[in-house]
Amino acid sequence: METTLRGVGVSHGVAIGQVRHMGTAVLEPPAKQIPAEEAEREQGRARQAVDAVAADLTARGNLAGGEAQAVLEAQALMAQDPELMADVDRRIAVGSTAERAVYDAFAAYRELLAGAGEYLAGRVADLDDVRNRIVARLLGVPMPGVPDSDEPYVLVARDLAPADTALLDPALVLGFVTEEGGPTSHSAILARALGVPAVVALPGAGELVEGTVIAVDGSSGEIFVDPEEETRARLTTAAAERKAALAASTGPGLTADGHKVPLLANIGGPADVPAAVEAGAEGVGLFRTEFLFLDDSKRAPSEEKQVEAYRQVLEAFPEGRVVVRVLDAGADKPLDFLTPSDEPNPALGVRGLRSLLDHPDVLRTQLTALAKAAEGLPVHLEVMAPMVADRADAKAFADACRAAGLRAKFGAMVEIPSAALRARSILQEVEFLSLGTNDLAQYTFAADRQVGAVSRLQDPWQPALLDLVALSAEAAKAEGKSCGVCGEAAADPLLACVLTGLGVTSLSMGSASIPYVRAALAKHTLAQCERAAAAARATDGAEEARAAARAVLSGE
């Protein structure tokens, strides 16, 4: 009998196939004592395993490229964290085996993160994956991971570590379903980049029986267990209609009555450029530059290295718009040379622009490199700062840009509620705003973007979040300046129409989502988008907002 479950749809498309579960986690190693004379040998085993796992993660990142590469390189740094390794050595010195010492050291670090305000609890899946890989290597057992199969399947897991998600084969993995995670988790972002249908935060996902046929609707978040023929036909027909609409939709982003809404791409480095160009991106709305800084957590990359990487991206969009976000370090992206190591809650501490203003040489080098990379190119370069809280932050960033000789527009990201509330003040110092809806939701609702238990508060349809978007867009319009969205909210075709109705002037998203958003905008006029936005804001919850907007746009 068909049953329906509901999670959070995070990547468009429909997948119908048999359930295959992620390989089981490594078992807890036995707690046996070793003689003191074996301690040095065990410490060597631990270091070799850690280095091997870090090298494997880095290699996987190189294969995956783009955003996945940045995530996996961060995991490699996590594996080799000096404090963790020192703890492993201490535990071995008092009698633990290498595998038990690694297991216990990671468990202690897990507790430390929870005690630090749980912001970093969203990286627990990453941490557990690193631990499991190290322990598996020490025990000589297969690595946990994606199951081997010659037939296509739907992957089900409690959570998916970036190392697994990054190298999923779309020819075999029809879609995936996880019990944990949220709409802006690493796995969700990478799923959209791969174009794989995905549903996260599904209660009881682990109880789906191996081999059971399920249908996954990555748009609605619905899971149909043992779907009936009628359900299969309906989903298949809808998918075919969507595919036809995508093929027919080309060119710039426009509403049905010709209102321009430039559709831009979010990229994590030069490796993401081909997909953006193929999707018809009109430029780049968010160029994340962290990938350059993750190779070496001890020092910043040279100006020459930065110039080379930036120019590769700028050259790909002649006469297009490329918006670069300067380094956003801190919180879940710590760098030894830049961010404090002893903050009780890094998410509420020195991250983003705050850390750059504390290290002006790092900011100056990056801005100078951007200026040199743009020399002689017709590209429209724009540079923005992350985590701007007020006018003083905006002024400090704009002053730094001018001092570096940067001939570009300077902007501020709206990720903190104070920036949305005081947007007109901030716009006295900068020329544009860009809404990072992932962090804006996180800080508005005190809800970590990686924790499935609070995913309803991370839903970008929350009316309070829409109110903050509207405040920012209205401020920009009053000042005659632009206000885009570069958070994952822009990747939802229905929400993209609502954002347009709120007054947002551009939308930036993962490249795979651009055709969906272009097709959705082309179906509706600006007035319809405005009515849908008003209807969504008049509700009291995310589900109600989504339903209200859908009703307006479908003519119900």
Which residues are known catalytic residues?
186, 486
- CA 486 – CA 505 distance, rounded (Å): 11
- CB count in 10 Å sphere of residue 131: 23
Pairing of strands 153-157, 14-21: parallel
- CA 71 – CA 269 distance, rounded (Å): 12
Pairing of strands 506-509, 153-157: unpaired
Contact indicator for 451, 500 with CB cutoff of 8 Å: no
Two structure tokens written together for 196: 């794989």
Helix, strand and coil percent figures for the chain, each rounded to 5 = 50, 15, 35
Q: Which residues contact 150 (CB under 8 A, 6 or more apart)?
A: none
- CA 303 – CA 230 distance, rounded (Å): 59
Two structure tokens written together for 542: 């995310």
Contact indicator for 251, 230 with CB cutoff of 8 Å: no
Contact indicator for 517, 485 with CB cutoff of 8 Å: no
DSSP 326: P
Burial 316-346, CB ≥16 within 10 A → b, else e: bbeebbbbbbbbbbbbbbbbeebbeeebeeb
DSSP 304-367: HHHHHHHHHHHHTSTTSEEEEEPP--BTTB--TTTS-S--S-GGGSS-THHHHHHSHHHHHHHH
- CA 200 – CA 204 distance, rounded (Å): 11
- CB count in 10 Å sphere of residue 68: 26
Strands, E assignment, 357-501: 380-385, 409-414, 432-435, 482-485
Count of residues in the chain: 556
| Angle, in degrees to the nearest 10, between helices 66-79 and 186-194 | 150
Two structure tokens written together for 549: 């907007």
- CA 99 – CA 175 distance, rounded (Å): 34
Strands, E assignment, 118-258: 153-157, 173-178, 198-200, 213-217, 222-225
Contact indicator for 185, 213 with CB cutoff of 8 Å: no
Angle at Cα 459 formed by Cα 457 and Cα 463, nearest 5°? 85
Of 167, 144, 3, nearest to 69 by C-alpha is 167
Of 179, 125, 124, 185, nearest to 157 by C-alpha is 179
**Residue carrying structure tokens 């807890």:** 28
Contact indicator for 413, 435 with CB cutoff of 8 Å: yes
